[in-house]
Amino acid sequence: MRKSIVMTVLVVFLLFSKVGVCAGFKEVGFFTGFGSASLNEKKNYKIIPLGARLGFDMNPLFNNKVKGLLEFVVEPFLTPVISPDKNVEFGTHFMIKYGYKFGNFMPYIEGGTGFMYTTQHTREQSTQWNFTSQAGLGFYYFLREDLALNIGYRYRHFSNLSIKRPNSGVDIHNGIIGISWFFN
């Protein structure tokens, strides 16, 4: 577990120091949606994701030779859990996203990791602090040069990295919708 935390902090530090937080700032957005997962002994786990998206341009790391959008994304979130009981999740995701623009459409793929705390108790998880891994795909539809609607699908797994048993994890399928502003 310590290795995972140290590696995540190191990667974030290196990316920010190499690209520059302000110089590489590319996108700010907000999203919501709906997610659901099956639990063994309770009703389905259902969430309404609420989050912010901060994208940093990674293209300078590759001497600006990458065609399309390549971002390091930081997503802080506060997510209501609506089933099996009313609770909340909060945390931050760190992801890499690649997209390529065709006219007003930009399809993208993304994946990454993060950490979260949930107030929901389940048989699948013995701890409330958890780590996340996720992957997704979607598209932006540009309403203007700098403003886009975001629609996507995301698969997210959270577990406690076997810190304590049980640790079977929770696998959530999410549909998301949001809006993003892009900066040059």
Structure tokens at 145: 């040069």
Query: Average pLDDT of the chain?
Result: 88
| Number of domains into which the chain is organized | 1
Q: Judge contact between 85 and 43, C-beta under 8 A.
A: no
pLDDT at 5 over 70: no
12-35 pLDDT, tens digit per residue, is 555 554 444 445 789 999 999 999
Mean pLDDT (whole number) for 36-51:
92
Q: Which residues fall within 8 angstroms of residue 169, CB to CB, at 6 or more apart?
A: 124, 125, 157, 158, 159
Owning domain of residue 124: 2-182
61-79 pLDDT, tens digit per residue, is 888 888 999 999 999 999 9
- CATH number of the domain bearing residue 178: 2.40.160.20
